Amino acid sequence: MFEHLKEQPADKILALMGEYRADPRKEKIDLGVGVYRNAEGVTPVMRAVKEAERRIVADQETKAYTGMAGDPAFSDAMIGLVLGEAVPRDRIAAVATPGGTGAIRQSLELIRLASADARVWLSNPTWPNHPSIINYLGIPSKTYRYFDEATRDVDFAGMIEDLGALAEGDVVLLHGCCHNPTGANLTAPQWEEVIALMKAKGAIPLVDIAYQGFGDGLDEDAQATRRVAAAFDECLIAASCSKNFGIYRERTGILMAISRDAEQQKVTQGTLNFLNRQNFSFPPDHGARVVTTILNDPELRADWEAELEETRNGMLALRQQLADELKRLTNSDRFEFLAKHRGMFSRIGASPDQVAAMREADGIYMVGDSRMNIAGLNSETVPKLAAAIVKAGV
């Protein structure tokens, strides 16, 4: 039967990583893959994670299954981190999932089960795995304008115009913070306008929050998600712990589904448990236990927050340095957007030819749509990148 299989399209970022590894040049710079790296190019295990793991290894007495939804303490801790007090607890159903990707997958399965006609609206552009999973599941989808290639800011007028065509029961996928791949984000008043429009249309939000703490701060980055969650009767939130806890390979995420009341929440929770059971049964526990240990221990939590804050400020400093360097080289403010963007990524607006030219001439590897990972830089490589950007004529 395998002879019927077709080649699947190669993952562009993984292919880029392969090219980078094969490049013998010492000066090469990897701005491709979406993983945080410090100034030494290392993706470190965070201090609080190491300590939490030490405690878990020392104290854990069983590896028996947890629950189908994962450990309830993980759900409580993550609901607190992401939603704060925005929504009454008895309206929130939650399941642990393998990473944020697992949470997105389960949210889409829930949507498909609840409403076969619902269309899912995606920002153009968005994280490529969104349309990939949606198409794989056969869910109808639409896109809304999001990015203005000229200003490198949000095309808000285009977004509002496109969302004007929402039908009742449609789902809008929104990036809670640190939009991937553009780095451009809605302002608080713009969020309010999107919420009002979606409510008027009877649409339902699906918020993907994968970078809480990488933008303006832990609470600041959750503000939009909390506002959305509080404003709607029904809402889905897929959160990832990969980036902010640096536990990428542990596959730790959570799906929260907010129902209109506590009665409905029970059915929603049962359905989420059912979907976990169909797809992978009990979710992975180790990363979730690490996260719960950190969030529930004041000392570990303070240390985690401090290290996350250093990480965030490091990326902001690199953004500012790059914007300043480009201002100096071009005598213009046209790269000011780099300091304004938030999160690990910025789309710099280079054409595919210019991206290829930077790779060939200067060993700078960024994704073909000119998304670059700011965390792939350090203070010494920033001037080299700035010079290459100018040389390529971006």
Ligand X SMILES: Cc1ncc(COP(=O)(O)O)c(C=O)c1O
Among residues 52, 184, 243, 369, which one is catalytic?
A: 243
In the complex, the smallest distance separating the C-beta of residue 200 from ligand X, rounded to whole angstroms, is 27
Active-site annotation holds for 76? no
In the complex, the smallest distance separating the C-beta of residue 293 from ligand X, rounded to whole angstroms, is 19
In the complex, the smallest distance separating the C-beta of residue 128 from ligand X, rounded to whole angstroms, is 9
Tokens representing residue 185 in the block: 């984000």
In the complex, the smallest distance separating the C-beta of residue 344 from ligand X, rounded to whole angstroms, is 8
Alpha-carbon distance of 241 to 46, in angstroms, equals 12
Instruction: Name which of 101 and 212 has its Cβ closer to ligand X.
Output: 101
- Beta-carbon count within 10 A of 349 CB: 19
Instruction: Name which of 343 and 363 has its Cβ closer to ligand X.
Output: 343
Question: Which residues, 6 or more positions from 384, have their beta carbon under 8 angstroms from its beta carbon?
Answer: 27, 29, 362, 364
Instruction: Name which of 284 and 363 has its Cβ closer to ligand X.
Output: 284
- Within 13 Å, how many C-alpha atoms sit on residue 250's CB side? 22
Alpha-carbon distance of 281 to 257, in angstroms, equals 19
Among residues 127, 288, 339, 375, which one is catalytic?
A: 127
Residue linked to tokens 């409905």: 264
Instruction: Name which of 288 and 326 has its Cβ closer to ligand X.
Output: 288
Among residues 93, 184, 203, 210, which one is catalytic?
A: 210
- CB–CB of 323/304 below 8 Å? no
C-alpha 385 chain-centroid distance: 25
In the complex, the smallest distance separating the C-beta of residue 126 from ligand X, rounded to whole angstroms, is 7
Among residues 30, 148, 170, 208, which one is catalytic?
A: 208
- Residue 6's φ and ψ, nearest 5 degrees, are -110, 155
Nearest residue to ligand X, using CB? 99
Active-site annotation holds for 210? yes
Q: For helices 99-114 and 129-136, give the axis angle rounded to 10 degrees.
A: 40
Instruction: Name which of 34 and 215 has its Cβ closer to ligand X.
Output: 34
Active-site annotation holds for 224? no
Residues that bind ligand X (CB under 6 A): 34, 99-101, 127, 175, 180, 208, 210, 240, 242, 248, 253
C-alpha 353 chain-centroid distance: 27
Instruction: Name which of 20 and 335 has its Cβ closer to ligand X.
Output: 20
Q: Where are the beta strands (DSSP E) in the chain?
A: 29-30, 92-97, 120-124, 141-145, 147-148, 153-154, 171-175, 204-209, 235-240, 253-258, 345-347, 364-365, 371-373
Distances (CA, A) of 320 to 151, 215, 337: 17, 14, 10
User: At residue 279, what is the residue type?
Assistant: N
In the complex, the smallest distance separating the C-beta of residue 34 from ligand X, rounded to whole angstroms, is 5
In the complex, the smallest distance separating the C-beta of residue 127 from ligand X, rounded to whole angstroms, is 4
Instruction: Name which of 180 and 271 has its Cβ closer to ligand X.
Output: 180
- CB–CB of 184/155 below 8 Å? no
- Beta-carbon count within 10 A of 252 CB: 31
Alpha-carbon distance of 281 to 259, in angstroms, equals 23
Active-site annotation holds for 64? no
> Which positions are annotated as active-site residues?
127, 208, 210, 243
